[in-house]
Structure 1
Amino acid sequence: MFVELGEDGRRDLLRTETLLVLALSLGASGVSALISFIGSLTRPGGLKDQAATLNGSYAPGRPWLDLAWQLFGIASALVPVLLVAHLLTREGAPGLRVLGFDRTRPLWDLGRGALVAAGIGSAGLAFYLGARAAGFNLTVVPEALPDVWWKFPVLILSAIQNAVVEEVIVLAYLLRRLGQLGWSPMAALAASSLLRGSYHLYQGIGGFIGNVVMGAVFVLAYRRWGRVGPLVAAHALLDIVAFGGYALLAGKVGWLPTP
Protein backbone atom coordinates (compact mmCIF):
# COMPACT_ATOMS: atom_id res chain seq x y z
CA MET A 1 0.00 0.00 0.00
CA PHE A 2 1.43 3.36 -1.02
CA VAL A 3 0.90 6.46 1.10
CA GLU A 4 0.18 9.74 -0.66
CA LEU A 5 2.85 12.31 0.17
CA GLY A 6 2.53 16.06 0.17
CA GLU A 7 5.07 18.31 -1.51
CA ASP A 8 7.24 18.51 1.61
CA GLY A 9 7.12 14.76 2.06
CA ARG A 10 8.08 14.18 -1.56
CA ARG A 11 11.04 16.56 -1.26
CA ASP A 12 12.21 14.79 1.91
CA LEU A 13 11.94 11.47 0.10
CA LEU A 14 13.97 12.73 -2.87
CA ARG A 15 16.59 14.24 -0.56
CA THR A 16 16.97 10.97 1.35
CA GLU A 17 17.06 8.97 -1.89
CA THR A 18 19.82 11.18 -3.32
CA LEU A 19 21.93 10.93 -0.19
CA LEU A 20 21.57 7.14 -0.13
CA VAL A 21 22.52 6.77 -3.81
CA LEU A 22 25.62 8.91 -3.24
CA ALA A 23 26.47 7.04 -0.03
CA LEU A 24 26.44 3.79 -2.00
CA SER A 25 28.56 5.18 -4.82
CA LEU A 26 30.67 8.27 -5.44
CA GLY A 27 29.82 10.15 -2.28
CA ALA A 28 31.47 7.34 -0.34
CA SER A 29 34.38 7.48 -2.79
CA GLY A 30 34.77 11.17 -1.96
CA VAL A 31 35.16 10.40 1.76
CA SER A 32 37.60 7.60 0.95
CA ALA A 33 39.64 9.92 -1.28
CA LEU A 34 39.81 12.56 1.47
CA ILE A 35 41.13 10.02 3.98
CA SER A 36 43.65 8.81 1.40
CA PHE A 37 44.78 12.39 0.71
CA ILE A 38 45.27 13.10 4.41
CA GLY A 39 47.38 9.95 4.60
CA SER A 40 49.50 11.12 1.67
CA LEU A 41 49.96 14.59 3.17
CA THR A 42 51.11 13.19 6.50
CA ARG A 43 53.46 10.61 4.98
CA PRO A 44 57.15 11.54 4.80
CA GLY A 45 58.21 12.89 1.39
CA GLY A 46 56.45 15.08 -1.15
CA LEU A 47 53.26 14.22 -2.96
CA LYS A 48 54.99 13.72 -6.32
CA ASP A 49 57.20 11.03 -4.74
CA GLN A 50 54.09 8.99 -3.91
CA ALA A 51 51.94 7.07 -6.37
CA ALA A 52 48.19 6.63 -6.89
CA THR A 53 47.43 3.45 -8.83
CA LEU A 54 44.09 3.36 -10.65
CA ASN A 55 44.00 -0.18 -12.04
CA GLY A 56 46.10 -2.64 -10.10
CA SER A 57 46.27 -6.39 -9.67
CA TYR A 58 44.02 -8.08 -7.11
CA ALA A 59 45.84 -11.41 -7.20
CA PRO A 60 49.47 -11.03 -8.36
CA GLY A 61 50.84 -14.16 -10.00
CA ARG A 62 47.37 -15.72 -10.35
CA PRO A 63 46.01 -14.32 -13.65
CA TRP A 64 42.69 -16.19 -13.77
CA LEU A 65 41.81 -15.29 -10.20
CA ASP A 66 42.92 -11.73 -10.91
CA LEU A 67 40.63 -11.61 -13.96
CA ALA A 68 37.70 -12.85 -11.88
CA TRP A 69 38.28 -10.09 -9.33
CA GLN A 70 38.65 -7.46 -12.06
CA LEU A 71 35.36 -8.42 -13.69
CA PHE A 72 33.60 -8.63 -10.34
CA GLY A 73 34.82 -5.15 -9.40
CA ILE A 74 33.63 -3.67 -12.70
CA ALA A 75 30.22 -5.34 -12.51
CA SER A 76 29.56 -4.48 -8.86
CA ALA A 77 30.51 -0.84 -9.43
CA LEU A 78 27.65 -0.57 -11.94
CA VAL A 79 24.97 -1.61 -9.43
CA PRO A 80 24.27 2.00 -8.28
CA VAL A 81 23.56 2.89 -11.92
CA LEU A 82 20.97 0.10 -12.05
CA LEU A 83 19.53 1.45 -8.81
CA VAL A 84 19.21 4.91 -10.38
CA ALA A 85 17.45 3.39 -13.40
CA HIS A 86 15.03 1.62 -11.06
CA LEU A 87 14.33 4.76 -9.04
CA LEU A 88 13.71 6.81 -12.17
CA THR A 89 11.33 4.15 -13.48
CA ARG A 90 9.39 4.17 -10.19
CA GLU A 91 9.18 7.94 -10.52
CA GLY A 92 7.35 7.44 -13.80
CA ALA A 93 10.28 8.41 -16.03
CA PRO A 94 11.51 6.06 -18.79
CA GLY A 95 14.55 4.93 -16.81
CA LEU A 96 17.93 6.19 -17.96
CA ARG A 97 16.41 7.40 -21.24
CA VAL A 98 15.16 10.49 -19.44
CA LEU A 99 18.82 11.37 -18.81
CA GLY A 100 19.77 10.85 -22.44
CA PHE A 101 21.57 7.57 -21.85
CA ASP A 102 20.27 5.23 -24.53
CA ARG A 103 21.08 3.94 -28.01
CA THR A 104 18.87 6.29 -30.01
CA ARG A 105 21.71 8.58 -31.22
CA PRO A 106 24.98 6.63 -30.99
CA LEU A 107 26.92 8.47 -33.69
CA TRP A 108 25.76 11.87 -32.42
CA ASP A 109 26.81 10.96 -28.89
CA LEU A 110 30.16 9.52 -29.97
CA GLY A 111 31.01 12.44 -32.25
CA ARG A 112 30.39 15.09 -29.63
CA GLY A 113 32.04 12.96 -27.00
CA ALA A 114 35.17 12.68 -29.12
CA LEU A 115 35.33 16.48 -29.52
CA VAL A 116 34.98 17.01 -25.78
CA ALA A 117 37.59 14.34 -25.04
CA ALA A 118 40.07 15.89 -27.47
CA GLY A 119 39.78 19.30 -25.83
CA ILE A 120 39.84 18.16 -22.23
CA GLY A 121 42.44 15.43 -22.73
CA SER A 122 45.26 17.66 -23.94
CA ALA A 123 44.55 20.38 -21.38
CA GLY A 124 44.17 17.82 -18.60
CA LEU A 125 47.50 16.16 -19.33
CA ALA A 126 49.31 19.49 -19.33
CA PHE A 127 47.64 20.49 -16.06
CA TYR A 128 48.55 17.15 -14.42
CA LEU A 129 52.21 17.42 -15.45
CA GLY A 130 52.36 21.00 -14.17
CA ALA A 131 50.63 20.18 -10.87
CA ARG A 132 52.93 17.22 -10.25
CA ALA A 133 56.04 19.26 -11.06
CA ALA A 134 54.87 21.90 -8.58
CA GLY A 135 54.43 19.24 -5.88
CA PHE A 136 50.62 19.43 -5.71
CA ASN A 137 49.90 15.99 -7.14
CA LEU A 138 50.85 12.38 -6.61
CA THR A 139 52.30 10.43 -9.52
CA VAL A 140 49.23 8.88 -11.13
CA VAL A 141 49.72 5.31 -12.34
CA PRO A 142 46.72 4.61 -14.61
CA GLU A 143 47.45 0.90 -14.76
CA ALA A 144 49.70 -1.66 -13.11
CA LEU A 145 48.21 -4.86 -14.45
CA PRO A 146 50.26 -7.91 -15.42
CA ASP A 147 51.11 -8.43 -19.08
CA VAL A 148 48.44 -11.02 -19.80
CA TRP A 149 45.96 -11.42 -22.66
CA TRP A 150 43.08 -9.76 -20.80
CA LYS A 151 44.98 -6.61 -19.80
CA PHE A 152 43.69 -4.24 -22.48
CA PRO A 153 40.11 -5.60 -22.56
CA VAL A 154 39.89 -5.10 -18.80
CA LEU A 155 41.30 -1.58 -19.07
CA ILE A 156 38.67 -0.72 -21.71
CA LEU A 157 35.88 -2.19 -19.56
CA SER A 158 37.19 -0.28 -16.54
CA ALA A 159 37.18 2.96 -18.53
CA ILE A 160 33.60 2.41 -19.69
CA GLN A 161 32.48 1.53 -16.16
CA ASN A 162 34.05 4.70 -14.75
CA ALA A 163 32.35 6.79 -17.41
CA VAL A 164 28.90 5.29 -16.94
CA VAL A 165 28.94 5.48 -13.13
CA GLU A 166 30.31 9.00 -12.89
CA GLU A 167 28.30 10.66 -15.64
CA VAL A 168 24.99 8.97 -14.94
CA ILE A 169 25.13 9.54 -11.17
CA VAL A 170 27.23 12.66 -10.54
CA LEU A 171 26.15 14.52 -13.65
CA ALA A 172 22.70 13.59 -14.95
CA TYR A 173 20.97 12.01 -11.95
CA LEU A 174 22.31 14.48 -9.39
CA LEU A 175 21.39 17.51 -11.50
CA ARG A 176 17.88 16.13 -12.01
CA ARG A 177 17.35 15.55 -8.30
CA LEU A 178 18.85 18.88 -7.23
CA GLY A 179 16.60 20.65 -9.72
CA GLN A 180 13.57 18.84 -8.28
CA LEU A 181 14.69 19.92 -4.80
CA GLY A 182 14.71 23.55 -5.85
CA TRP A 183 18.46 24.17 -6.14
CA SER A 184 19.50 26.99 -8.44
CA PRO A 185 21.37 26.03 -11.64
CA MET A 186 24.61 27.57 -10.31
CA ALA A 187 24.36 25.79 -6.95
CA ALA A 188 23.69 22.46 -8.69
CA LEU A 189 26.67 23.03 -11.00
CA ALA A 190 28.90 23.73 -8.00
CA ALA A 191 27.66 20.66 -6.12
CA SER A 192 28.18 18.30 -9.06
CA SER A 193 31.63 19.72 -9.87
CA LEU A 194 32.86 19.70 -6.27
CA LEU A 195 31.65 16.15 -5.78
CA ARG A 196 33.54 15.09 -8.91
CA GLY A 197 36.65 16.77 -7.59
CA SER A 198 36.25 15.22 -4.13
CA TYR A 199 36.54 11.60 -5.21
CA HIS A 200 39.68 12.41 -7.20
CA LEU A 201 41.35 14.05 -4.21
CA TYR A 202 43.42 10.90 -3.61
CA GLN A 203 45.48 12.06 -6.61
CA GLY A 204 46.30 15.37 -4.90
CA ILE A 205 45.25 19.02 -5.17
CA GLY A 206 45.84 18.95 -8.93
CA GLY A 207 43.47 16.01 -9.35
CA PHE A 208 40.83 17.81 -7.31
CA ILE A 209 41.04 21.12 -9.18
CA GLY A 210 41.31 19.55 -12.62
CA ASN A 211 38.21 17.44 -12.08
CA VAL A 212 36.21 20.33 -10.61
CA VAL A 213 36.88 22.25 -13.83
CA MET A 214 36.03 19.20 -15.94
CA GLY A 215 32.83 18.78 -13.93
CA ALA A 216 31.74 22.34 -14.65
CA VAL A 217 32.39 21.88 -18.39
CA PHE A 218 30.41 18.64 -18.39
CA VAL A 219 27.46 20.25 -16.57
CA LEU A 220 27.30 23.06 -19.14
CA ALA A 221 27.53 20.59 -22.04
CA TYR A 222 24.84 18.37 -20.52
CA ARG A 223 22.48 21.30 -20.09
CA ARG A 224 23.10 22.41 -23.66
CA TRP A 225 22.60 19.01 -25.25
CA GLY A 226 20.06 17.50 -22.86
CA ARG A 227 21.81 14.14 -23.12
CA VAL A 228 24.41 12.48 -20.92
CA GLY A 229 25.40 10.07 -23.70
CA PRO A 230 28.07 12.35 -25.22
CA LEU A 231 29.65 12.92 -21.81
CA VAL A 232 29.75 9.18 -21.10
CA ALA A 233 31.48 8.73 -24.47
CA ALA A 234 33.92 11.56 -23.75
CA HIS A 235 34.83 10.20 -20.32
CA ALA A 236 35.24 6.67 -21.65
CA LEU A 237 37.54 7.86 -24.45
CA LEU A 238 39.62 9.91 -22.00
CA ASP A 239 40.12 6.93 -19.71
CA ILE A 240 40.78 4.47 -22.53
CA VAL A 241 43.54 6.72 -23.89
CA ALA A 242 44.95 7.33 -20.40
CA PHE A 243 44.97 3.67 -19.39
CA GLY A 244 46.10 2.27 -22.73
CA GLY A 245 48.58 5.08 -23.40
CA TYR A 246 50.26 4.57 -20.04
CA ALA A 247 50.47 0.82 -20.62
CA LEU A 248 52.18 1.38 -23.96
CA LEU A 249 54.41 4.37 -23.11
CA ALA A 250 55.39 4.10 -19.44
CA GLY A 251 59.15 3.84 -19.13
CA LYS A 252 59.64 4.50 -22.85
CA VAL A 253 59.18 8.28 -22.98
CA GLY A 254 60.84 10.78 -20.68
CA TRP A 255 57.89 13.16 -20.24
CA LEU A 256 55.55 10.57 -18.70
CA PRO A 257 56.11 10.32 -14.92
CA THR A 258 56.42 6.86 -13.38
CA PRO A 259 56.97 5.85 -9.73
Structure 2
Amino acid sequence: MKRTTSEPSAEHSAAPGPGGLRRRFYGWELAIVLGLSLGRSAIYAVLQLAERLTLAPLADQTATVQSSRSRAEFFDVSYQVLDAVFALVPVVLVFYLFFLHGMNPFRRFGLDLRAPVRDLLLGVGLFLLIGLGTVVIYAVGRATGITAELIPADVGEHWWTTPVLVLTALRHSLLEEIIMIAYLFDRARRIWPRAGIWMIILGSAVLRGAYHLYQGFGPGIGNLLMGVIFGWIYHRCGRVMPLVIAHLLLDVVAFLAFPLVLQLIPG
Protein backbone atom coordinates (compact mmCIF):
# COMPACT_ATOMS: atom_id res chain seq x y z
CA MET A 1 0.00 0.00 0.00
CA LYS A 2 1.25 3.44 -0.83
CA ARG A 3 1.58 5.83 2.02
CA THR A 4 -0.50 8.97 1.59
CA THR A 5 0.25 10.90 4.76
CA SER A 6 2.56 13.87 4.51
CA GLU A 7 5.19 15.16 6.87
CA PRO A 8 4.75 18.45 8.74
CA SER A 9 5.68 21.55 6.78
CA ALA A 10 6.11 25.22 7.47
CA GLU A 11 2.67 26.09 6.09
CA HIS A 12 1.12 24.09 8.91
CA SER A 13 2.76 26.12 11.68
CA ALA A 14 0.35 26.75 14.53
CA ALA A 15 2.14 29.75 15.99
CA PRO A 16 4.70 32.29 14.83
CA GLY A 17 8.29 32.04 15.95
CA PRO A 18 11.08 29.47 15.83
CA GLY A 19 10.50 25.75 15.47
CA GLY A 20 11.08 25.16 19.19
CA LEU A 21 8.18 27.45 20.09
CA ARG A 22 5.88 25.66 17.65
CA ARG A 23 6.89 22.29 19.07
CA ARG A 24 6.12 23.46 22.61
CA PHE A 25 2.76 24.73 21.41
CA TYR A 26 1.96 21.35 19.89
CA GLY A 27 3.24 19.60 23.00
CA TRP A 28 0.84 21.48 25.26
CA GLU A 29 -1.96 20.92 22.78
CA LEU A 30 -1.32 17.16 22.76
CA ALA A 31 -1.18 17.04 26.56
CA ILE A 32 -4.50 18.89 26.82
CA VAL A 33 -6.26 16.65 24.29
CA LEU A 34 -4.98 13.46 25.95
CA GLY A 35 -5.80 14.86 29.39
CA LEU A 36 -9.38 15.38 28.27
CA SER A 37 -9.68 11.91 26.74
CA LEU A 38 -7.65 8.72 26.61
CA GLY A 39 -4.64 9.89 28.60
CA ARG A 40 -6.94 10.46 31.54
CA SER A 41 -8.51 7.04 30.95
CA ALA A 42 -5.05 5.43 31.02
CA ILE A 43 -4.25 6.92 34.42
CA TYR A 44 -7.55 5.75 35.89
CA ALA A 45 -7.14 2.28 34.34
CA VAL A 46 -3.69 1.83 35.90
CA LEU A 47 -5.06 2.86 39.30
CA GLN A 48 -8.04 0.54 38.90
CA LEU A 49 -5.73 -2.36 38.09
CA ALA A 50 -3.59 -1.59 41.13
CA GLU A 51 -6.71 -1.54 43.30
CA ARG A 52 -7.96 -4.81 41.81
CA LEU A 53 -4.66 -6.50 42.65
CA THR A 54 -5.13 -5.59 46.33
CA LEU A 55 -8.67 -6.98 46.53
CA ALA A 56 -8.66 -10.47 45.03
CA PRO A 57 -7.12 -12.51 42.21
CA LEU A 58 -8.01 -11.04 38.82
CA ALA A 59 -9.49 -14.39 37.76
CA ASP A 60 -12.19 -13.96 40.45
CA GLN A 61 -13.19 -10.45 39.35
CA THR A 62 -15.30 -9.00 36.56
CA ALA A 63 -14.78 -5.94 34.38
CA THR A 64 -17.76 -4.27 32.71
CA VAL A 65 -17.28 -1.99 29.72
CA GLN A 66 -20.81 -0.55 29.43
CA SER A 67 -23.21 -0.57 32.39
CA SER A 68 -26.69 0.67 33.08
CA ARG A 69 -26.68 4.13 34.59
CA SER A 70 -30.11 4.19 36.17
CA ARG A 71 -32.93 1.83 37.13
CA ALA A 72 -35.37 4.18 35.40
CA GLU A 73 -35.46 3.46 31.65
CA PHE A 74 -35.78 7.10 30.54
CA PHE A 75 -32.80 8.23 32.59
CA ASP A 76 -30.74 5.19 31.64
CA VAL A 77 -31.06 5.81 27.89
CA SER A 78 -30.51 9.55 28.46
CA TYR A 79 -27.28 8.92 30.34
CA GLN A 80 -26.09 6.39 27.77
CA VAL A 81 -26.63 8.75 24.82
CA LEU A 82 -25.12 11.73 26.66
CA ASP A 83 -22.06 9.65 27.61
CA ALA A 84 -21.48 8.85 23.95
CA VAL A 85 -21.99 12.45 22.82
CA PHE A 86 -19.76 14.07 25.44
CA ALA A 87 -17.04 11.42 24.99
CA LEU A 88 -16.70 12.59 21.38
CA VAL A 89 -16.07 16.23 22.33
CA PRO A 90 -12.25 15.72 22.25
CA VAL A 91 -12.62 14.42 18.69
CA VAL A 92 -14.57 17.55 17.77
CA LEU A 93 -11.84 19.61 19.46
CA VAL A 94 -9.16 17.90 17.32
CA PHE A 95 -11.11 18.60 14.14
CA TYR A 96 -11.63 22.23 15.22
CA LEU A 97 -7.88 22.67 15.86
CA PHE A 98 -7.03 21.30 12.42
CA PHE A 99 -9.54 23.59 10.73
CA LEU A 100 -8.03 26.53 12.64
CA HIS A 101 -4.62 25.57 11.23
CA GLY A 102 -5.98 25.62 7.68
CA MET A 103 -6.22 21.84 7.23
CA ASN A 104 -9.13 19.60 6.38
CA PRO A 105 -8.94 16.83 9.04
CA PHE A 106 -11.23 14.50 7.08
CA ARG A 107 -8.79 14.41 4.17
CA ARG A 108 -5.72 14.69 6.38
CA PHE A 109 -6.74 11.65 8.45
CA GLY A 110 -8.31 9.70 5.62
CA LEU A 111 -11.74 9.76 7.24
CA ASP A 112 -13.69 10.19 4.03
CA LEU A 113 -15.16 8.22 1.15
CA ARG A 114 -12.33 8.51 -1.37
CA ALA A 115 -11.56 4.77 -1.19
CA PRO A 116 -14.70 3.04 0.12
CA VAL A 117 -14.04 -0.46 -1.27
CA ARG A 118 -10.43 -0.62 -0.12
CA ASP A 119 -11.31 0.83 3.28
CA LEU A 120 -14.11 -1.69 3.78
CA LEU A 121 -12.06 -4.70 2.70
CA LEU A 122 -9.10 -3.68 4.84
CA GLY A 123 -11.38 -2.89 7.78
CA VAL A 124 -13.10 -6.28 7.60
CA GLY A 125 -9.74 -8.04 7.26
CA LEU A 126 -8.41 -6.27 10.35
CA PHE A 127 -11.62 -7.10 12.21
CA LEU A 128 -11.16 -10.80 11.51
CA LEU A 129 -7.45 -10.75 12.41
CA ILE A 130 -7.81 -8.71 15.60
CA GLY A 131 -11.03 -10.49 16.58
CA LEU A 132 -9.40 -13.92 16.43
CA GLY A 133 -6.35 -12.65 18.28
CA THR A 134 -8.55 -11.09 20.96
CA VAL A 135 -10.32 -14.40 21.59
CA VAL A 136 -7.01 -16.22 21.93
CA ILE A 137 -5.46 -13.63 24.27
CA TYR A 138 -8.62 -13.49 26.39
CA ALA A 139 -8.68 -17.28 26.70
CA VAL A 140 -5.01 -17.39 27.69
CA GLY A 141 -5.50 -14.52 30.14
CA ARG A 142 -8.44 -16.23 31.83
CA ALA A 143 -6.59 -19.55 31.97
CA THR A 144 -3.52 -17.98 33.57
CA GLY A 145 -5.50 -15.76 35.95
CA ILE A 146 -4.21 -12.42 34.66
CA THR A 147 -7.51 -11.26 33.14
CA ALA A 148 -10.81 -10.44 34.81
CA GLU A 149 -14.01 -11.92 33.44
CA LEU A 150 -15.12 -9.43 30.79
CA ILE A 151 -18.71 -8.25 30.59
CA PRO A 152 -18.88 -5.97 27.52
CA ALA A 153 -22.41 -4.69 28.21
CA ASP A 154 -24.58 -4.89 31.31
CA VAL A 155 -27.51 -2.86 30.03
CA GLY A 156 -31.17 -3.71 30.44
CA GLU A 157 -33.09 -5.16 27.50
CA HIS A 158 -35.13 -2.33 25.97
CA TRP A 159 -36.13 -1.25 22.47
CA TRP A 160 -33.22 1.19 22.48
CA THR A 161 -30.54 -1.18 23.79
CA THR A 162 -29.14 -2.29 20.42
CA PRO A 163 -28.94 1.17 18.80
CA VAL A 164 -27.38 2.64 21.94
CA LEU A 165 -24.75 -0.10 22.07
CA VAL A 166 -23.98 0.47 18.37
CA LEU A 167 -23.66 4.19 19.15
CA THR A 168 -21.28 3.33 21.99
CA ALA A 169 -19.22 1.15 19.64
CA LEU A 170 -19.05 4.04 17.15
CA ARG A 171 -17.98 6.36 19.94
CA HIS A 172 -15.14 4.03 20.95
CA SER A 173 -13.95 3.54 17.39
CA LEU A 174 -13.92 7.24 16.50
CA LEU A 175 -12.40 8.37 19.79
CA GLU A 176 -9.62 5.80 19.91
CA GLU A 177 -8.60 5.74 16.26
CA ILE A 178 -8.77 9.48 15.64
CA ILE A 179 -7.08 10.50 18.90
CA MET A 180 -4.63 7.61 19.34
CA ILE A 181 -3.66 7.16 15.69
CA ALA A 182 -4.49 10.01 13.31
CA TYR A 183 -4.09 12.95 15.70
CA LEU A 184 -1.28 11.56 17.87
CA PHE A 185 0.81 10.53 14.86
CA ASP A 186 0.50 13.98 13.28
CA ARG A 187 1.39 15.83 16.47
CA ALA A 188 4.20 13.43 17.44
CA ARG A 189 5.91 14.07 14.08
CA ARG A 190 5.73 17.82 14.71
CA ILE A 191 6.87 17.69 18.35
CA TRP A 192 9.64 15.13 17.77
CA PRO A 193 10.58 15.49 14.08
CA ARG A 194 13.58 13.18 14.50
CA ALA A 195 11.61 10.38 16.16
CA GLY A 196 11.40 7.20 14.13
CA ILE A 197 8.00 5.94 13.07
CA TRP A 198 8.32 2.84 15.22
CA MET A 199 8.88 4.99 18.30
CA ILE A 200 5.61 6.76 17.55
CA ILE A 201 3.78 3.50 16.82
CA LEU A 202 5.01 1.89 20.05
CA GLY A 203 4.24 4.98 22.13
CA SER A 204 0.67 5.05 20.84
CA ALA A 205 0.31 1.30 21.34
CA VAL A 206 1.55 1.42 24.93
CA LEU A 207 -0.96 4.14 25.76
CA ARG A 208 -3.75 2.13 24.07
CA GLY A 209 -2.84 -0.88 26.17
CA ALA A 210 -2.67 1.20 29.33
CA TYR A 211 -6.25 2.45 29.21
CA HIS A 212 -7.51 -1.14 28.92
CA LEU A 213 -5.64 -2.37 32.00
CA TYR A 214 -8.74 -2.08 34.19
CA GLN A 215 -9.76 -5.36 32.50
CA GLY A 216 -6.50 -7.06 33.50
CA PHE A 217 -3.09 -7.67 31.97
CA GLY A 218 -4.40 -9.76 29.07
CA PRO A 219 -6.53 -7.02 27.48
CA GLY A 220 -3.69 -4.56 28.08
CA ILE A 221 -1.28 -6.76 26.13
CA GLY A 222 -3.89 -7.52 23.46
CA ASN A 223 -4.67 -3.86 22.86
CA LEU A 224 -0.98 -2.99 22.80
CA LEU A 225 -0.52 -5.49 19.96
CA MET A 226 -3.63 -4.13 18.26
CA GLY A 227 -2.14 -0.64 18.52
CA VAL A 228 1.08 -1.79 16.85
CA ILE A 229 -0.83 -3.35 13.95
CA PHE A 230 -3.18 -0.38 13.54
CA GLY A 231 -0.29 2.09 13.76
CA TRP A 232 1.69 0.27 11.09
CA ILE A 233 -1.36 0.06 8.79
CA TYR A 234 -2.01 3.79 9.21
CA HIS A 235 1.63 4.58 8.51
CA ARG A 236 1.48 2.51 5.32
CA CYS A 237 -1.85 3.66 3.88
CA GLY A 238 -2.38 7.04 5.56
CA ARG A 239 -6.10 6.41 6.15
CA VAL A 240 -7.85 6.02 9.49
CA MET A 241 -11.17 4.88 7.98
CA PRO A 242 -10.23 1.16 7.82
CA LEU A 243 -9.23 1.29 11.48
CA VAL A 244 -12.53 2.91 12.46
CA ILE A 245 -14.43 0.23 10.52
CA ALA A 246 -12.47 -2.61 12.14
CA HIS A 247 -12.83 -1.17 15.63
CA LEU A 248 -16.54 -0.55 15.13
CA LEU A 249 -17.11 -4.16 14.04
CA LEU A 250 -15.08 -5.48 16.98
CA ASP A 251 -17.10 -3.53 19.53
CA VAL A 252 -20.48 -4.23 17.93
CA VAL A 253 -19.78 -7.98 18.01
CA ALA A 254 -18.48 -7.75 21.59
CA PHE A 255 -21.53 -5.79 22.80
CA LEU A 256 -24.21 -7.75 20.94
CA ALA A 257 -22.81 -11.25 20.49
CA PHE A 258 -20.32 -11.84 23.30
CA PRO A 259 -21.99 -15.11 24.48
CA LEU A 260 -21.50 -16.50 20.95
CA VAL A 261 -17.90 -15.33 20.97
CA LEU A 262 -17.31 -17.12 24.28
CA GLN A 263 -18.33 -20.38 22.62
CA LEU A 264 -15.16 -20.10 20.53
CA ILE A 265 -13.10 -20.32 23.71
CA PRO A 266 -12.39 -23.94 24.68
CA GLY A 267 -13.08 -25.10 28.20
For this structure pair, what is the TM-score category when the shorter chain's length is used for normalisation? over 0.9
1:82 match: 92
* CA apart distance, 1:249: 4.2
Q: Aligned pair in 2 of structure 1 residues 254, 186: CA closer, same or farther (>3 Å)?
A: closer
Conserved? CA contact 2:205–2:228, under 8 Å: yes
Q: Alpha-carbon deviations, 1:194-243, whole Å to 9, x = none?
A: 01001001011111111110000001111111100000000000111111
Q: Alpha-carbon deviations, 1:171-211, whole Å to 9, x = none?
A: 11101111112222121111100010010010111111111
Give the structure-1-normalised TM-score.
0.93
Partners of 1:176 and 1:46 lie apart in 2 by 40
* CA apart distance, 1:89: 1.3
Please list, as runs of the form range in 1=range in 2, the aligned pairs for 1:184-199 lying within 5 A after superposition.
Answer: 184-199=196-211
Give the structure-2-normalised TM-score.
0.90
Q: Alpha-carbon deviations, 1:52-99, whole Å to 9, x = none?
A: 101110002x11110000000000000000000011112221123201
Conserved? CA contact 2:169–2:248, under 8 Å: yes
| Aligned: 1:119 with 2:129 | yes
Conserved? CA contact 1:57–1:145, under 8 Å: yes
* CA apart distance, 1:5: 2.1
Conserved? CA contact 2:123–2:246, under 8 Å: yes
Partners of 2:39 and 2:266 lie apart in 1 by 31
Residue identity opposite 2:32 in structure 1: L
Q: Determine which of 21, 43, 49 is the counterpart of 1:37.
A: 49
2:7 match: none
Moved over 4 A (4+): 252-257
Q: Aligned pair in 2 of structure 1 residues 256, 67: CA closer, same or farther (>3 Å)?
A: farther
Please list, as runs of the form range in 1=range in 2, the aligned pairs for 1:24-173 lying within 5 A after superposition.
Answer: 24-43=36-55, 45-60=56-71, 62-173=72-183
Conserved? CA contact 2:135–2:265, under 8 Å: no
Aligned length: 252
1:218 match: 230
Conserved? CA contact 2:16–2:22, under 8 Å: no
Conserved? CA contact 1:59–1:65, under 8 Å: yes
Any stretches of 5+ residues in structure 2 without a counterpart?
1-13
Any stretches of 5+ residues in structure 1 without a counterpart?
none
Partners of 2:121 and 2:217 lie apart in 1 by 31
1:209 match: 221
Partners of 1:223 and 1:129 lie apart in 2 by 30
Partners of 1:147 and 1:136 lie apart in 2 by 31
Conserved? CA contact 1:137–1:205, under 8 Å: yes
* Bigger mean CA offset, 148-157 vs 93-102: 93-102
Query: Percent identity between the aligned chains?
Result: 37
1:143 is paired with a residue whose SS is: strand
Q: Indicate the RMSD between aligned Cα atoms, in angstroms.
A: 1.9
Conserved? CA contact 1:160–1:236, under 8 Å: yes
